[in-house]
A and B are shown apart, each in its own frame.
Chain A
Amino acid sequence: MLSLQEISDRLEIQDLLVRYSDAIDRRDFDLLDQVFTPDASVDYTAFGGAAGVYPEMKGWLARALAKYDGYQHLVANMDIRLAGDSATGRIMCLNPMGVVVGSTTGEIGVCCLWYIDTYRRTADGWRIATRTEERASTWKVAART
């Protein structure tokens, strides 16, 4: 049986994953300071994005997402493996990216991915120490909004 500590750690890491999505989806990029460690390594290259350490990636995210209208990062299938004060995770994300602002192609993008993560327990709670995207698929789908 899982211990109370393990259940608590898993729920707090789930909270962390939801907080990441919410920060991105609300464009509240300062909230990411409560998601990543200051030295976190983030890699979005699987979808043609950038890779780097968190402080610079925070600015990149704000610029890269500015061109999209409404979108969501739905996380599920959270495979979390605890190892004391650190943990690893593999997290599915279904991400309708919506339309590029000003686009008239009549298409929306849908990204299907996994986040390959490591987590660390800090004095402020669990944080993401590394996050690498793994690509399942990208769809360009005819749609109207």
Chain B
Amino acid sequence: MLSLQEISDRLEIQDLVVRYADALDRLDFDLLDQVFTPDAFIDYTALGGTAGNYPEMKAGMPRSFKPFGNFQHLVANHEIRLQGDTATGRVMCLNPMGAAGEPATQDLRLNGIWYNDTYKRTSDGWRITTRKEERAFVFYFPVRS
């Protein structure tokens, strides 16, 4: 049976992963300071993005998201393995990325992703220390205006 501590840790790590998605989807990039450790390493290369440490990745995000109007990062299938004050995780993300502009003139891009993560318990709560994207698929759907 899971202990209360383990259940609490799992729920707090789920909160963390939802916070990441919410920060991106609301374009509230400062909120990511409550998601990543300052020295976190992020790798988006599997879907054509960049890789680097958190501060530089955060600085590049406004430009990366500019071509897109509407999007969501739906996270599910969260597998979390606790090891005391650290943990690893694998999280599915279904991510429709709509093009900017109205009416939409470009295809809808649907990304199927896994995040392969490590987490650390800090004095401010759980944080992501590494996040590496793994690609399942990228589909482009034609959109009617």
Chain A residues at the B interface, C-beta cutoff of 8 Å: 4-5, 7-8, 11-12, 15, 18-19, 21-22, 25, 69-76, 94, 96, 98, 108, 141-145
Contact = CB atoms under 8 A, between A and B. Distances in A.
Contacts of A69: 137
Contacts of A18: 77-79
Interface string B44-69: 00000000000000000000000000
A22 B137 contact: no
Contacts, number: 70
Interface stretch (B2-10, B16-24, B33-41, B117-125): B2-10
Interface string B104-145: 000100101000000000000000000000011111111000
Contacts of A5: 1
Interface of B: 1-2, 4, 7, 10, 74, 76-79, 90, 92, 94, 107, 110, 112, 135-142
Most buried by B among A4, A5, A22, A72: A72
A-B residue pairs, 5 tightest by C-beta:
A70-B137, A8-B2, A8-B1, A70-B136, A143-B139
Prevailing SS type, chain A contact patch: mixed
25 contacts: A4-B1, A4-B4, A4-B7, A8-B2, A15-B79, A18-B77, A18-B78, A19-B79, A21-B77, A21-B92, A22-B90, A25-B136, A70-B112, A71-B136, A71-B137, A72-B94, A72-B112, A72-B136, A75-B76, A76-B76, A94-B94, A142-B141, A143-B142, A145-B139, A145-B140
Contacts of B137: 69-72, 96, 98, 145
A11 B141 contact: no
B78 A141 contact: no
Nearest to A11: B2
A22 B141 contact: no
A85 to B, nearest CB: 13
